[in-house]
Amino acid sequence: MALVLISAGLVLLLNNFGLISWEVWQVLWKFWPVILIFWGIEAIAGKNILSEILVGLIGIIIVLLVITYSISLVDSGFDKWVRANFPVWGQIKKNLPQKPSNDSLFECSPFDRNCYQFFNN
């Protein structure tokens, strides 16, 4: 849980300094089930020090991938930088959805301008 709070704080800090767009929250919001996955892995792993280290490392990797993916969808400059410095990113990203969809009212986030327009028409 601490990893989620640190990550959210980091993204908010980057938003406040204008380094990433606020639109990144539209993409990040779709990954909320990852929190449940973390809790489940922690419950299975128990309180063994080795399992806590392993769960922490897996959590850090997953959070970094989710944040990198979300930012790369809304910032093409960041996406180009990641592809140039981490060639494997192109392989990972081509297997993931490339654009957030707003097919359903329930998929809207409070930060989505299209949903705002939908409610005010």
Furthest C-alpha separation in the chain:
55
Cα separation of 14 and 37, whole Å?
26
What global pTM score does this model have?
0.62
Q: pLDDT tens for residues 85-106?
A: 988 888 877 777 665 555 443 4
Residue 110 vs residue 36, higher pLDDT: 36
Helix 49-74 crosses helix 76-85 at what angle (to 10 degrees)? 130
Mean pLDDT estimate for the chain:
77
